[in-house]
Chains A and B, each alone.
Chain A
Amino acid sequence: MARLSVENAWVEFPVRLTRGGRGKVSRTGGEIDAARGVVTALRDISFELRDGDRLGLMGHNGAGKTTMLRLMAGAYPPTRGRVVSVGSISTLFNATPGLSLDGTGRENILTCALHLGMSRRRIAQKVDEIIDFAELGDYIDLPVRIYSAGMVTRLGFAVATAVEPEILLLDEGLATGDAHFARKAEARMNVLIARSSILVIASHSETLLAGMCNRCLLLEHGRILSDGPAAQLYETYRATVVAAARADDAEALQRAYTLTTDMARRGEAIPLELEEQGLRHALRISPDDAMMMQRLLDVVRAQGRALPAEEEARLLLALLDRHPDRDDHRARLAELLP
């Protein structure tokens, strides 16, 4: 019976600030409280996981995903509230515990697996399987110093997933490595999911989370924004952001911008209404960007809508200023200004 419950947990980092404003919210990261000298990375988090739960953690960079995993692993004891876990825990974060560049792959398997809580006998039984899975071949007896970044990741993944814990915590380790290894890793994950009783995985990829998890938490600035099935979660979140941004809410506009750029970076299709709000935010920051102006016009038109006449006219004038030869803009402007 594995169980993991987080009860009103806060994670607050002490910082020594040389100077700073009051409780400002930066674009990413937690809230900075200069008066108390703390950065609130997680704020009043509560949820409970039981056998069979597959939790996905979503959120932009600095939303608190990794901190949340470390909180669950017991590495960060909450500054307020508490975390209670029943069952053995294994983690795969960006750094593998005990890994040394001077040791060979084989030696590091022993060191890391011992750190992760495996017994020597168990490691001896599994070492060939780990080497085989990591696809290191003859490199296994060479120092890790000369490994490529992908090889180190594969080694770490192979060791961490050999532990077979009751609670497994993963931090987007699947994204690294080539497509072939990513597929293999996903297959291994599915086997592990079947065996371990609780899985928590932090990732930017909605598709990965939608495929693996039955529950998702969306984090922003160290708070849980929403809680539900993966696929639905982002849609509802986007809808609320777009609605608030349409009402000219500054924070929502900024969120729309972050969502848009994140999706663009990952090469996902961006919903037009979201892109529109993201562009509006971007144009507030740099009002002279002709490419963005043009894109905003296109995005609005593609939705079969029109901007308020005054705003559209301003955009068209600015565009014509740069490209006087655009007759379509001139014609549209004439329509708008009788």
Chain B
Amino acid sequence: MKAHAQIERLSLSAEQDQRPSARPAVSPAPGGPFEVAWADVTAALRIAPVWLHSGWIDVVWRFRRTRLGPFWHTFGLAAFVIVMGVVWSTILRQDPTQYFRYVTVSLIVWTLIASFVTDATGIVIAGQATALSMRFPYPAFAFAHVWRGLLIFALHFVLYLVVMLGTLHWPGWAVLLALPGLLLVIANGVWMSLLAGMLSLNRRDLMPAIASAMQIMMFVTPVFWPRDMLGAHLAFAADFNPFYHLVRVVRDPLLGTIPPLDAWAWVVGTLVLGATATLWLYGRWRDRLAYWY
């Protein structure tokens, strides 16, 4: 009995002495879909320095040869917002200053959310050299992409500050709710990016298809116009649109209104359902992904 305990202790200490690299790596990954997916998500989190750096340097490199650099994002959006603000406030008969703020914030938030889907279609395909050189956890591509989206969001955010100061508008303390809203959007962005990247790797047609779909989505979702303009018959088109709720939990606080409970419920619901479905699919496909390049 005593000897048995001793052996157990010995084997335990031997386990602790092992360095992480000394653990055997088995390929194909053993376990069920969720086990495989979770192992890769944690592996991706462990290599945070890699995707934090690659997301950052991507933004730097993309604008390397331009004079204004990444601020092209800000200026491009500013030009868009000014034109939209003047033309559409007249067409829609809205109060110009209020509409101006509405369109600015809407567009900034929409651009962030849309980039998690539209631009994410290329992230896994672009990682070919990495994915075919080692056993790389694919969720790291999604993390890098979401991080890159946040950096560009930060550049756009300058425009938000400018507009708020320019129109002398203080949204009130409700603005703090934008933070949990943004966190939920980020969490949703991770599964959306991974799913879009994975699906487009297998079916390359999805890249242009998703780009077109998201363009249409921008006009269907209440981004340029308030939801009330849909009228009673069409209101469901906004209420059952998950993108509308994703936009709302960040946009409404930034404009000074508290998002209703059903918006939060929708966003959390999308996160749970989307993340579960994506992890399950990822776990099933993990060992096939490299063959789709």
Flag if B26 contacts A84 (CB, 8 Å).
yes
Are A77 and B287 closer than 8 Å at their CB atoms?
yes
Q: What is the total of A-B residue contacts with beta carbons within 8 Å? A: 103
Interchain nearest-CB distance for B288 vs A (Å): 8
Q: Which residues of B, 248-292, contact A by the 8 Å Cβ criterion?
A: 286-287, 290-292
Q: A86-B23, A110-B53 are in contact. Are A102 and B62 (CB under 8 A)?
A: yes
- Interface residue A95 (Cβ < 8 Å from any Cβ of B): yes
Segment at the A interface, from B91-99, B131-139, B192-200, B230-238: B131-139
**Which residues does chain A contribute within 8 Å of B65, judged by CB atoms?**
102
Interface string of A96-140 (1 = CB under 8 A from B): 111110110001001100111101100000000000000000000
Q: Which A residues from 42 to 101 make CB contacts under 8 A with B?
A: 70, 73-79, 82-89, 91, 93, 95-100
A95 to B228, CA, bound (A): 53
Given that A13-B291, A98-B54, A102-B62 are known contacts, is A73 also in contact with B133, CB under 8 Å in the complex? yes
The distance from the CB of A102 to the nearest CB of chain B, in whole angstroms, is 4
Q: In the assembled complex, how far is the CB of residue A276 from the closest CB belonging to chain B, in whole angstroms?
A: 41
Q: Check A103–B57 contact: CB distance below 8 A.
A: yes
Which residues on A sit within 8 Å (CB–CB) of B57?
A: 100, 103, 107, 111
Interface presence of A14 (CB below 8 A): yes
> Cβ of A166: which chain B residues have Cβ within 8 Å of it?
21
If the complex has contacts A73-B134, A114-B53, are A82 and B24 also in contact, measured as CB distance less than 8 A?
Answer: no
B63 nearest in chain A by CB position: A102
Query: For A1, what are the chain B residues with a Cβ–Cβ distance below 8 Å?
Result: 22
Contact A78-B49, Cβ < 8 Å, known A70-B132, A98-B54, A115-B130: no
Expressed in whole angstroms, the minimum distance between the Cβ of A167 and any Cβ of chain B is 10
Restricting to A11-39, which residues have a CB under 8 Å from any CB of B?
Answer: 13-14
Shortest beta-carbon distance, B134 to chain A, in Å?
5
Determine which of A14, A77, A117 lies in contact with B29 in the assembled complex, contact meaning CB atoms within 8 Å.
Answer: A77
- Indicate if the CB atoms of A86 and B132 lie closer than 8 Å: no
Distance (Å) between the CB of B289 and the closest chain A CB?
A: 9
Contact of B49 with A114 in the complex, beta carbons under 8 Å: yes
Question: Which residues of B are found within 8 Å of A229, using beta-carbon distances?
Answer: none
- Does A143 count as interface, using CB distance less than 8 angstroms? yes
**Residues of chain B lying within 8 A (CB to CB) of residue A107:** 57, 61
Residue of B nearest to A101 (CB): B61
- Minimum CB–CB distance from B17 to chain A (whole Å) comes to 12
CA distance A85 to B142 in the complex (A): 26
Residues on A with C-beta less than 8 A from B132 are: 70, 75-76, 93, 95
Assuming the contacts A84-B24, A111-B57, asked whether A97 and B129 have C-beta atoms less than 8 A apart, the reply is yes
State whether A87 touches B22 (Cβ < 8 A): yes
B25-A84 in contact (CB<8A):
yes
Q: Which of B61, B136, B287 is close to A102, meaning CB atoms less than 8 Å apart?
A: B61
Residues of A within 8 A of B133 (CB): 70, 73, 75, 91, 93, 95-97
Pick the contact of B54: A14, A75, A95, A111 (CB < 8 A): A111
Task: Name which residue of chain B comes closest to A93, CB basis.
Answer: B133
Measured in the bound complex, the distance between the Cα atoms of B26 and A327 in whole Å is 70
The reply to whether A97 and B134 form a contact with Cβ atoms under 8 Å apart is yes
The contact of B28 among A3, A70, A77, A87, by CB within 8 Å, is A77
The answer to whether A96 touches B61 (Cβ under 8 A) is no
Chain A residue with the shortest CB-CB distance to B61: A102
Contacts of A76 in B (CB 8 A): 132, 290-291
Indicate if the CB atoms of A95 and B287 lie closer than 8 Å: no
Identify the closest chain B residue to A143 (Cβ): B64
Given known pairs A77-B287, A143-B64, the reply for A98 and B130 (CB within 8 Å) is yes
Tell me the bound Cα distance from A333 to B194 in angstroms: 75
Q: B129 touching A99 by the CB < 8 A rule?
A: yes
Query: Are B64 and A95 in contact, CB atoms less than 8 angstroms apart?
Result: no
Asked if A75 and B62 sit within 8 Å, CB to CB, the answer is: no
A residues near B136, Cβ cutoff 8 Å: 75, 97
Q: Tell me the bound Cα distance from A120 to B287 in angstroms.
A: 30
Q: Is the CB of B54 within 8 A of A89?
A: no
Report B40-53 CB contacts with A as 1/0, cut-off 8 Å.
00000000011001
Which residues of A are found within 8 Å of B290, using beta-carbon distances?
A: 70, 75-77
Check B27 for interface membership: any CB of A closer than 8 A: yes
| Minimal beta-carbon separation of A233 from chain B (angstroms) | 27
Residues 95-131 of B contacting A (Cβ, < 8 Å): 128-131
Whether B134 lies near A75 (C-beta < 8 A) is: yes
Selected A-B contacts with CB under 8 Å, 13 pairs: A14-B292, A70-B290, A73-B135, A77-B287, A82-B26, A84-B25, A96-B129, A98-B129, A102-B61, A103-B64, A110-B53, A114-B49, A119-B49
Known contacts A82-B27, A100-B57, A103-B61; 11 further A-B pairs (Cβ under 8 A): A3-B24, A13-B291, A70-B133, A73-B133, A77-B29, A77-B286, A84-B24, A85-B25, A97-B134, A107-B61, A115-B54
B: which residues have CB within 8 A of A? 21-29, 49-50, 53-54, 57-58, 61-62, 64-65, 128-136, 286-287, 290-292
